[in-house]
Amino acid sequence: MLDHFIQLITIVTPAILLTWFYYSQKQILSKNYYEEIIGTYAGFTLPTHELKDKITINAGIIMHIREINKDGYFKGEFEFGETSLKSINNIPTKHFISMGIYTFFGKLNFKIKLDKSRHPFKPDQNRIYNGKLYIVTRLDFQFDKYNIEDYLQSEYKIVHYREMQTLSFSLIQKKIDGGQKLPDSFTLYKSVGFSFDPLKGVKDVVFTDVN
């Protein structure tokens, strides 16, 4: 009987150690991954308005992911703006068509990926993670009476290209009609402070008055 017990322990112990090692490594690696997500992202988008008379329309988003927890739930806010640019007597004139600030929360799902050399500017070589983004009217809701889903405006699918530090969004469903229309899809790049950073371009072209 004792021999059978010892044999059982001998068989089970490596499996327990491997399981423990896997989950401990996953916790460490997921923590490192989620810490990378926090930051400011920006990118130009397709405009939601159509103007005639050869007027140029520029649209863009600046997103701030403020915090994220150990399970991959994050929250923050983003600005979406659209401007028209027309030259009058060779003087550029900008007109703000629409501006809005939106609150959101989301979830990114971490999976352990093979550690190998990856080209950061080739999307198919990136480590890719998926998730959801939920745009809500507010986060400071009365949780004793309502659920966060009661404040849901739109739901987007997220694809995160880790080496590119890029978030791609595509609309899944829209809960609330009316108000400012948002793009059905957009791609945002994390700001790293370069002079040609997408954040600077979006700020200058969409959110800064030229007059």
Is the residue at 69 inside a domain?
yes
- Closest by CA position to 168, among listed 183, 149, 153: 183
The pTM score is: 0.87
Query: What is the number of structural domains in the chain?
Result: 1
* CB distance 37 to 163 below 8 Å: no
Residue identified by tokens 């694809």 is 159
Domain of 81, in residue numbers = 38-207
Is the residue at 28 inside a domain?
no
Is the residue at 114 inside a domain?
yes
Is the residue at 30 inside a domain?
no
pLDDT at 22: 46
Which 3 state secondary structure label does DSSP give 158?
Answer: strand
Between the CA of residue 76 and those of 41, 85, 109, what are the distances in Å? 11, 30, 17
pLDDT 10s digits, 110-126: 999 888 889 999 999 99
pLDDT at 27: 83
pLDDT at 21: 45
Is the residue at 129 inside a domain?
yes
Is the residue at 27 inside a domain?
no
Residue identified by tokens 């108000």 is 179
pLDDT at 13: 63
73-88 vs 152-161, strand pairing mode = unpaired
Is the residue at 124 inside a domain?
yes
Q: How far apart are the first and last CA of the chain?
A: 89
Residues of the chain with confidence (pLDDT) below 70:
1-25, 54, 178, 210-211
